[in-house]
Homo-oligomer: A and B are copies of this chain.
């Protein structure tokens, strides 16, 4: 018998050779129907693969990231089987799972696949899925594998084989389709219930434009039709709410080739949002005892050698500028500058926790192919802060930061979020992570304990920590269900020592502080991108670039109109007048389109009665209000940062 240990700590005994699927069945048939793959000793395996010795086991379903990606990778094989049956002679390159689905690159020979052929392919896939063919794994020697693909005349797989070592090669077969593949795969094609092929594109072999152009076929699959329907609906909604489209329409941001890719310029309307967000952060942090600082965007190489950004983070940094024999780097993080501010004046335990915040701008290199709207950029603005504290203070400080996140999420109507506790990887100590095994263990435990004590649901992921310590990544979901990785809350036991930061403790001894790195709203770039989608451009009043648009029915009422405008401005309301001599209907339509929350129509009647005809964007007429009534209403809405209803 072998011992299988489960995530909850339970250990059960099974016959050697038992598969994860067998184990699932031994628990419940319902569970077995959901098992897509399994994590065995930290490695993702086929659920059908025999386990021969003691092991830790985690069953993976659709709810697990690795379960999903196994499902999609198996779907790529299913798609390949369908293509091969309809287009004999096709040769395949690689077919991975991606963020939302999968693709396969293929050489169709003389054939071509167009949009109009996708339906037929989907039907073929459904037919093959219904056959519920098992995905079977087979170890194969390199010479055998080579001779198989030589016979098939498949130069692509032969190319892949060149880089594989004999003894590590596996084939997977389902139905009539066999592929060179490391796996893992789901148990059988029958798990795949809903199929949508989404796109056809060209892709150079190995990404090199000197090579042949292959056909890349994209698809997405689900374990039931309902999820596919929801996904397609979400896609359609996301298209309408596309932050790039709305960002342009609403004058939020722009980019320019002469400035450079991924370098956002915030237009006046976007800047209003940035400033409101920063004002919110400043108020929140002021209440929480933070102080503010301003630091330059560059520093000398020596600082980044001390911090460890060089070499650990070098790939994400801009190249240096050489001046007077020194190398200067654009900062990719604010922390080293903040450490210098901590160190500028001597500190005692009385000064801790020392919390300093900055509206910081950092520069990170992302490959130009990775850049995307506000989501992947090279210049990042963020409400950043660092907290220097004692070990005793750590729990309270870390908890307070987590709570600040939750407070923000509530304010922005983020109902769904996941906290990911990102841990180090032992194998990468000294390469990707500072080589301090005990401190890693200790601080990871501290963070985990805070999360458990605060009753915050979280998942743990290996090998995603910062190089200086464990962190919490927060993923939030927009109202239409799209996921955004947003904020981080990080522990740092390393930089305090590297920078020789010290405070005098109660025993009058020097001691190194722990450091918390936090940016609860993430970058303003990504957060505003999120908000554009989340609100579909209809910002709550406090965030709206223009809060009120006054629409005079004619020039005759301008004196009253200007009087109303001035009263609103004095109350701190952002107000504009549509002075054009257009018909009132057109003015209303355009104001509605520009998502101004309140429109005030002013004509003869309003002027005589000293009133306003108030319209709410998307809701229509609210009737006539006194000027002071309206001002009270809107200023309260702004002051309390009320959500759009």
Residues of A bordering B, CB below 8 Å: 251, 254, 256-260, 263-268, 270-272, 274-275, 291-300, 302-303, 306, 318-324, 326, 328, 330, 336-337, 340-341, 343-345, 356, 361, 363, 365, 368, 379, 381
Q: Is the CB of B293 within 8 A of A259?
A: no
A358 to chain B: closest residue by CB: B271
A343 contact set on B, CB distance < 8 A:
256
CB neighbours (8 Å) of A267 from chain B are 293, 341, 344-345
B-chain residues with CB within 8 Å of residue A263 when the two chains form the complex? 296, 298-299
Task: Tell me the smallest distance from the CB of A71 to a CB of chain B, in Å.
Answer: 36
A509 to B534, CA, bound (A): 41
Which residues in B have their C-beta under 8 angstroms from that of A368?
324
CB pair A293–B319 under 8 Å, yes or no, is no
A328 proximity list for chain B (CB < 8 A) = 260, 318
Q: Sample 27 A-B pairs with CB under 8 A, ordered by A number.
A: A254-B341, A254-B345, A257-B300, A258-B300, A258-B303, A258-B336, A259-B298, A260-B296, A260-B298, A260-B328, A263-B299, A265-B294, A265-B344, A266-B294, A266-B295, A268-B356, A270-B294, A271-B292, A271-B294, A296-B379, A298-B379, A318-B321, A318-B328, A319-B322, A321-B330, A324-B368, A330-B330
Q: Are B296 and A268 in contact (CB under 8 A)?
A: no
Q: By the criterion CB–CB under 8 Å, are A298 and B363 in contact? A: yes
12 further A-B pairs in the complex, CB-CB below 8 A; given A266-B295, A321-B330: A258-B303, A259-B298, A259-B299, A263-B299, A265-B293, A267-B344, A275-B292, A296-B379, A297-B363, A298-B318, A318-B321, A324-B368
CB <8 Å contact, A256 and B340: yes
Query: Which residues in B have their C-beta under 8 angstroms from that of A337?
Result: 259, 265
B residues within 8 A CB of A322? 319
Interface contact B381-A294, CB-CB below 8 Å: yes
Residues of B within 8 A of A298 (CB): 259-260, 263, 318, 330, 363, 379
Residues in chain B near residue A270, CB distance under 8 A: 294
Kindly list chain B residues whose C-beta atoms are within 8 Å of the C-beta of A297: 297, 330, 361, 363, 379
Q: Which of B258, B266, B306, B321 contacts A258 (CB 8 A)?
A: B306
Residues of chain B with a CB closer than 8 A to A361's CB: 296-297
Q: A256-B340, A259-B299, A268-B356 are in contact. Are A294 and B274 (CB under 8 A)?
A: yes
Which one of B256, B291, B381 lies within 8 Å of A268 (CB-CB)?
B291
> Which residues of chain B come closer than 8 Å to A257, judged between CB atoms?
300, 302
Of A264, A292, A379, the most chain B CB neighbours within 10 A belong to A292
Known contacts A271-B293, A275-B292, A321-B318; decide if A260 and B299 are in contact (CB<8 Å). Answer: yes
Instruction: Give the shortest distance, in Å, between A120 (CB) and chain B (any CB).
Output: 42
- The minimal Cβ–Cβ distance linking A271 to chain B, given in whole angstroms, is 5
